[in-house]
Structure 1
Amino acid sequence: MAIRLLVVDDHKIFRAGIARLMLDEPDICVTGEAADGTAALSLIRSHQYDVVLMDINMGARNGLETLSALRTEYPRLPVVMLSMYVEAHYARLAHKARANAYLSKDIDTDELLRAIRHVADGGIWVTPAFGASAPDSSTPESPHGALTPRERQVMMKIAQGIPLTDIGTELCLSVKTVGTHRSRILEKLGLASNAELVQYAMRERLVD
């Protein structure tokens, strides 16, 4: 029986691309698609899936928040997290949230397929970033480790130079709410301005 795959990503083109990719795989079939975490949870409650392939960075409800909710109801459902972020910090967050794999979106197709098959069999797919993500008591947590998932989203977008108004539009938040997140981020990181935040993100290798 083919692996029933649910693809969760807020970009329709990406979901369609994964679906087309799986057409060539006799043992994997995309049987569900969702644009956000809320829709994904609804589908999971009403359909049977063998693996969930989910983006970590979505607007309405990001992947980490969705995974946390999913684990409460479905602790054993295999989940592969995808992200454009390759640094170990996000792999560590996925690990803490009990993802079965954490993969960068620029991975080779063969690795993605192997990871899906491996977690469907009950395994954990370990890449260098994911394997190094387990907490190390000898290494202090970076200051941005104290940020909430939403604050991390806002921080990354500010660091990428996206205006607060546009961030609000992308994340379905008011400009006032985005401003509140920004203030909390700066406070937690001990920074005074967006310029310092950009420098911090570059120093921590959160952005190129």
Structure 2
Amino acid sequence: MAKILIADNFALIREGIKKVLHSEPEITVVAETDHGGNVLRLVEKHKIDIVLLDINIPGMHGLDILKDLKKHFQNLPVLMLSMHPAQDYALRSLKLGASGYLRKDSPTEELVKAVQMIRTGGKYIPFALAEQLANWMAGNNGEESKHAALSNREFDIMQQLATGTTLKQIAETLNITVSTATTYKNRMYKKMGFSTNADLLRYCFKNNLIL
């Protein structure tokens, strides 16, 4: 029996996942959390076999959690869950060792298929996303590679700022101070060569990075 941990900040999402997976005989949800800081502890405590991890879970960025998980539990399958349409998050997840990437608005049968595939050592990317990734990588140019140099946190803040989210709102969501969020923003602006918010918006629109 494969033991699953669900790490997502929304109780309704966690309940929905548990309901979908309840009828699967070879897997069981044994733990859940709404805070990124609990993930490593719960994996160790319950000897978890599979982690379903939300990229935007409070406390730590999901990709930073993924990095820590792969450092301490190298062979642990992790399925990243996200509402982000940007291919960049899928690429970053896979490069860090994720076993799959699934959007939260995917059909329920996709979730079951993904969990069963990574449980047996496979990788899972929905066909539509795989096709988008292939097309995106084929058309990648020098300018698009600029944001690849951003840290996961910097990239996340760039995308949130592009949607009009304030630094105060970002800080609350990520459980960091406004000062820390501002520092990440300034680092991101420097790396990207942005002078104004208009520069940020122009870049994100051009490169399909708007959430």
Name the TM-score, length of structure 2 as normaliser: 0.89
Alignment of 1:1-208 (within 5 A): 1=1, 3-128=2-127, 129-130=129-130, 132=133, 140=142, 142-207=145-210
SS, match of residue 15 in structure 1: helix
- 1:135 offset after TM fit, Å? 7.7
Asked whether the 8 Å contact 2:170–2:181 carries over to 1, the reply is yes
Count of aligned residue pairs for this structure pair: 206
Distance in 1 (CA, whole Å) between partners of 2:118 and 2:90 is 16
Distance in 2 (CA, whole Å) between partners of 1:152 and 1:126 is 22
Asked whether the 8 Å contact 2:61–2:174 carries over to 1, the reply is no
Distance in 2 (CA, whole Å) between partners of 1:47 and 1:28 is 14
State the one-letter code of the partner of 1:29: T
State the one-letter code of the partner of 2:185: R
Asked whether the 8 Å contact 2:9–2:33 carries over to 1, the reply is yes
State the one-letter code of the partner of 1:187: K
- 1:197 offset after TM fit, Å? 1.1
SS, match of residue 142 in structure 1: helix
Instruction: Name whichever structure is richer in helix by fraction.
Output: 2
Where do 5+ consecutive residues of structure 1 fail to align? none
Distance in 2 (CA, whole Å) between partners of 1:175 and 1:64 is 21
**Structure 1 stretch displaced more, 126-135 or 58-67:** 126-135
Distance in 1 (CA, whole Å) between partners of 2:81 and 2:56 is 9
The alignment's C-alpha RMSD in Å is 2.1
Moved >6 Å (runs of 4+): 133-136
- % same residue: 34
Asked whether the 8 Å contact 1:54–1:80 carries over to 2, the reply is yes
SS, match of residue 58 in structure 2: coil
Asked whether the 8 Å contact 1:37–1:63 carries over to 2, the reply is yes
Q: What does the per-residue CA deviation read over 1:16-48, in whole Å, with 9 as the maximum and x for residues that have no partner?
A: 221222223333321110223320100111112
Where do 5+ consecutive residues of structure 2 fail to align? none
Distance 1:130 1:91, change over 3 A: farther
Asked whether the 8 Å contact 1:164–1:175 carries over to 2, the reply is yes
Distance in 2 (CA, whole Å) between partners of 1:186 and 1:13 is 36
Asked whether the 8 Å contact 2:54–2:81 carries over to 1, the reply is yes
Distance in 2 (CA, whole Å) between partners of 1:94 and 1:28 is 23
